[in-house]
Amino acid sequence: MPTTILVDVQLQRRDADEHEASLQELRQLIETLGWKIAGTLTQKMSSTTAASLIGPGKLEELSELVKTPEVDSVVFDHELTTTQVRNIREATGVHVYDRPAIILEIFHQHARTKEAQLQVELARLKYLAPRERVVGAKERRGGGRGARGVSESFHELERRQVRDRIRELQRELDAVHAEQVERRRHRVGLSKVAIIGYTNAGKSSLMRALTSSDVLVADQLFATLDTTVRALQPETQPRILVSDTVGFIRNLPHDLVASFRSTLDEALDASLLLHVADASDPSLRSHIQVTREVLESIDAGKLPSLLILNKIDAVDIAQQVLLKREFPDAIPMSALQPKDIEALHERLVRFFLDNMTQVDLVVSYGKEAVLAEIRKNVHVLKESYDEKGVCLTIKATPDTLTALKRRLAS
């Protein structure tokens, strides 16, 4: 089993509770990977050093610790620069990870679909390749005259290969995305709800319960990487589609956010966001904050959303009262409680009905495909025929109407 030493860098200016929560989360991330933590080295400091983050004395201490035979890496609870990774690796002789690198490793392990695999490879190349490459080139440099020139051309070659591969991955992903956009464009008239929130909040559990599906639920971080879409069950007229997405986490690597943007686009496309938060987690507030920030960063901050305080069964009554006062508009519930699911189901149906307006439209002959879709997915009140086509009176949300008009005009 890969075994690691955790380096806990405590900067004086950091909030103590926040720091403890973040460190605990990093432990959980490492466990999710299936790695063992052989020990923790704590370094309290007022400022970090540019060369190796921690001071030379601590670095020596760390080098001693990694001499334990089974230890093959060190993980820093702090983001490291390329130079720092290189220097620490040189001093210790083992792999060096920081928080973003660990998250990337998990995504790498968990990617199932072709798209997720492409996204992760792209993010890994962008984040890890520069670091690995610097180390690799240095190692090969070796002694002797002339060796330097050889390794540098190696370096150049690798750099070009990485660049080419990034371009190729980008092309493949663009093709996948174009296909998805096309598919979404055709899913006209559907009422869509997206489940989003911090990792391990219970999003997939909620998805399962609302749609009677068997998506993966696991007590680990980033169990879900791909977006799944299913119809709300029992089925409603019109149908409501629910999607489950990748979870958010503090300090999500930027390249990952960019790579997973398309996955989150599914959420952007929804009329309503179900923001799921784990009410029993002491870091509830910062989880809600991080989730809102990520939503802002992908321009989804303005979408209507319902805050779900999930796992309320694991919260004591006194705490529940406080939560109610602090989040008066939120829905306290448990994804594992059938009566809570029923109430949420009703609330979702009501949300769409309340947002619908009644309109008349004519579907000209020859647009049978659109007509079939309207009959399936839109609330039709009246239907008659005249020489222009089929005259319908429907009830639909503004989003649906816009999409429908676009399709009828094309």
Q: In the complex, which residues of this chain contact ligand GTP (CB under 6 A)? A: 199-205, 217-224, 247, 310-311, 313-314, 334-336
Backbone φ/ψ region at 202: left (φ over 0), alpha (ψ -120 to 50), beta: left
Q: Toward ligand GTP, which CB reaches closer, 265 or 313?
A: 313
Q: Toward ligand GTP, which CB reaches closer, 72 or 313?
A: 313
Q: Toward ligand GTP, which CB reaches closer, 181 or 314?
A: 314
CB 224, min distance to Mg ion, A:
3
Q: In what order do the strands lie in the sheet with 331-332?
A: 228-231, 240-244, 191-197, 272-278, 305-310, 331-332
CB 77, min distance to ligand GTP, A:
20
| Count of beta carbons in the 10 Å neighbourhood of residue 23 | 17
CB 136, min distance to ligand GTP, A:
33
CB 111, min distance to ligand GTP, A:
13
In sequence order, the β-bridge partners of residue 73 are: 4, 95
Q: Toward ligand GTP, which CB reaches closer, 6 or 210?
A: 210
191 binds, among ligand GTP, Mg ion, none (CB under 5 to 8 A by kind): none
- Residue whose entry in the numeric block shows the structure tokens 């002339």: 146
CB 248 within 8 A of CB 198: yes
What mask of x and - would describe binding to Mg ion in positions 213 to 242, judged by CB under 5 A? ----------xx------------------
CB 311, min distance to ligand GTP, A:
4
CB 267, min distance to Mg ion, A:
14
202 binds, among Mg ion, ligand GTP, none (CB under 5 to 8 A by kind): ligand GTP
Q: Toward ligand GTP, which CB reaches closer, 7 or 102?
A: 102
Within residues 154-213, the interface with Mg ion by CB under 5 A covers 203-204
Q: Toward Mg ion, which CB reaches closer, 110 or 203?
A: 203
CB 15, min distance to ligand GTP, A:
24
Q: Toward ligand GTP, which CB reaches closer, 238 or 247?
A: 247
Closest-by-Cβ residue to ligand GTP is: 247
Total number of residues that touch Mg ion (CB under 5 A) = 4
CB 276, min distance to ligand GTP, A:
6
- The secondary structure of the chain, three-state, reads CCEEEEEEEEECCCCHHHHHHHHHHHHHHHHHCCCEEEEEEEEEECCCECCCECCHHHHHHHHHHCCCCCEEEEEECCCCCHHHHHHHHHHHCCEEEEHHHHHHHHHHHHCCCHHHHHHHHHHHHHHHHHHHHHHHHHHHHCCCCCHHHHHHHHHHHHHHHHHHHHHHHHHHHHHHHHHHHHHHHHCCCCEEEEEEEECCCCHHHHHHHHHCCCCCCCCCCCCCCCCEEEECCCCCCCCEEEEECCCECCCCCHHHHHHCHHHHHHHHCCCEEEEEEECCCCCHHHHHHHHHHHHHHCCCCCCCEEEEEECHHHCCHHHHHHHHHHCCCCEECCCCCHHHHHHHHHHHHHHHHHCCEEEEEEEECCCHHHHHHHHHHCEEEEEEECCCEEEEEEEECHHHHHHHHHHHHC
Closest-by-Cβ residue to Mg ion is: 224
336 binds, among ligand GTP, Mg ion, none (CB under 5 to 8 A by kind): ligand GTP
CB 166, min distance to Mg ion, A:
28
Q: Toward ligand GTP, which CB reaches closer, 32 or 92?
A: 32
Q: Toward ligand GTP, which CB reaches closer, 59 or 256?
A: 256
Q: Interface with Mg ion by CB under 5 A: which residues?
A: 203-204, 223-224
